[in-house]
Amino acid sequence: MLEIRRSQAIKRKEIAAFAFDVECLRKDFEVEVAGTFVTKSRYQLGAIKMATQVGIEVAICDQNQSPQEFIISFKRYDPQREAVIQNVKARFKGSIWLSGSLGARVLREDGFVEELGGLKMDSGSEEPIL
């Protein structure tokens, strides 16, 4: 499960709510579900601590980057050092190909849910999506 936010600073309660949703999916469908939360700027310290405790990956991807080349920084809290540690900094360059299908839904802050439909791509397609 992936959540992407443009908020200025992600708070602990936002990570807790996301972790709850991930756990509900695990229980309801009896499958493994990974959770990744991405923002454009930063997380409050409590949010990174919470994410580390509940097994949620947190990442930062600056919104001013090009889709053809961008960097994502993954963070975690290290209780022994009492500090936020950069786990991975990944640079992506080139084109992205999609195989299979992808559904999209936007959950607005006011509670409105916008269904964006699905996207199906031929796994043999030579056309990149970006």
**Domain identity same for 127 and 89:** no
Q: H-helix or E-strand containing 56?
A: none
**Domain identity same for 102 and 88:** no
pLDDT in tens, 17-62: 999 999 998 898 888 888 999 998 889 999 999 999 999 999 998 8
**Domain identity same for 73 and 102:** no
pLDDT in tens, 81-105: 999 998 889 888 876 555 555 566 6
Residue in the structure block whose two tokens are 């299908």: 101
**Domain identity same for 129 and 80:** no
Q: Give the model's confidence band at 113: pLDDT under 50 very low, under 70 low, under 90 confident, else very high.
A: confident
Alpha helices in the chain (DSSP H): 12-29, 45-54
Q: Which domain holds residue 106?
A: 96-130
Residue type, 76: R
**Domain identity same for 89 and 100:** no
**Domain identity same for 77 and 127:** no
Residue-wise burial string across 74-102, b where 16 or more C-beta atoms lie within 10 A, e elsewhere:
bbbbeeeeeebeeeeeeeeeeeeebeeee
| Predicted local distance difference test score (pLDDT) of residue 121 | 52
- The pTM score is 0.66
